[in-house]
Amino acid sequence: MRAVTRRLVLPVVVVLAASTAACGSGAAQGGGSSGDASAGGAPAGGASGAASSGGRLSGTLTVFAAASLKKPFTQIGAQFEKAHPGTRVTFSFAGSSDLVAQIQQGAPADVFASADERNMAKATADSLTAGTPVAFATNTLEIAVPPGNPGRVTSLRDLARPGLKVVVCAPAVPCGGATAKVEAAARVDLKPVSEEQSVTDVLGKVSAGEADAGLVYVTDVKGAGGSVQGVPFAESSAAVNTYPVAALKTSRNPALAAAFVQAVTGELGQSALAAAGFGKP
């Protein structure tokens, strides 16, 4: 059962209307958002502060987001802060399965962005989301190889060759679930030397020369620059991941959380996501 809809229904309040207008106005390009949390670790504290009585948003927002979203979300966070002076966005980037487990255990967070619908469904099943999650991006797999492609990988089937060191995501992680789907579509049985807890860990092993190939997202290959090469394969179309985002009931600043979700799904966020190589849902 799909827990994601294509529209986000939010209460009509003045503060959200004001925030939407500001986010959609095309804030200036920004770098990394301040307070960027390290991958895999929950921030030290939750969101603090609230919308001021004058209708302006203020306070700190904690966003738990899939590791593959680090580059565009950091940019969105910086632009969001610029559009709303007095706000601060912090992030925890990790595998979606790890993040939802932290949320279920009470980790302080205001917004959750998953790399698949399966992990978001865990949050909605536990009544942790404030409203219905909304799909905001899609992504597909690509083979990453070290520069020069020393393993001479040209297809998904090549990854099953004896002696080739292949790294993939663990089955519980969205990129691992996608890997299982493309294996089934291609009728290939991979024997990875390791299964990682996030797609960025897979990419790191390939770029460091510790693996001959790894299955990551097309956005990871694009964002890696010259540290890896990408090898497209036809079976990737069998596993298109849809990314949903939702504000959380535990948020101490629901107005700010809702405004950030609108920024991700609106012009500001969609522009950053498209530039990073994500598709539209």
3-state secondary structure 206-246: HHCCCCCEEEEEHHHHHHCHHHCEEECCHHHHHCCEEEEEE
The rounded distance, in Å, linking the Cα atoms of 112 and 100 is 8
pLDDT digits (tens, 9 = 90+) for 195-204: 999 999 999 9
Q: Tell me what the pLDDT averaged over the chain comes to.
A: 85
The rounded distance, in Å, linking the Cα atoms of 222 and 205 is 16
Residue 85 has pLDDT above 90, yes or no: yes
The 3-state DSSP class for residue 196 equals: strand
Query: What global pTM score does this model have?
Result: 0.80
The 3-state DSSP class for residue 204 equals: helix
Name the DSSP class of 145.
E
| Contact criterion met (CB below 8 Å) for 16 and 258 | yes
Average pLDDT of the segment spanning 119-130: 98
pLDDT digits (tens, 9 = 90+) for 20-35: 333 333 333 333 343 3
Q: Where in the chain is the domain with CATH 3.40.190.10?
A: 14-137+243-275, 141-238
Pick the CATH number of 141-238 from 1.10.150.120, 3.30.390.30, 3.40.190.10, 3.40.50.1100: 3.40.190.10
pLDDT digits (tens, 9 = 90+) for 230-270: 999 999 999 999 999 999 999 999 999 999 999 999 999 99
> What is the number of other CB atoms lying within 10 angstroms of the CB of residue 280?
10
| Contact criterion met (CB below 8 Å) for 68 and 219 | yes
Average pLDDT of the segment spanning 106-118: 97
Residue 19 has pLDDT above 60, yes or no: no
Residue 121 confidence (pLDDT): 98
Q: In what order do the strands lie in the sheet with 241-247?
A: 87-94, 59-66, 111-113, 241-247, 134-139
Indicate the pLDDT class of residue 187, thresholds 50, 70 and 90.
very high
Fold topology of 14-137+243-275 = D-Maltodextrin-Binding Protein; domain 2 (3.40.190)
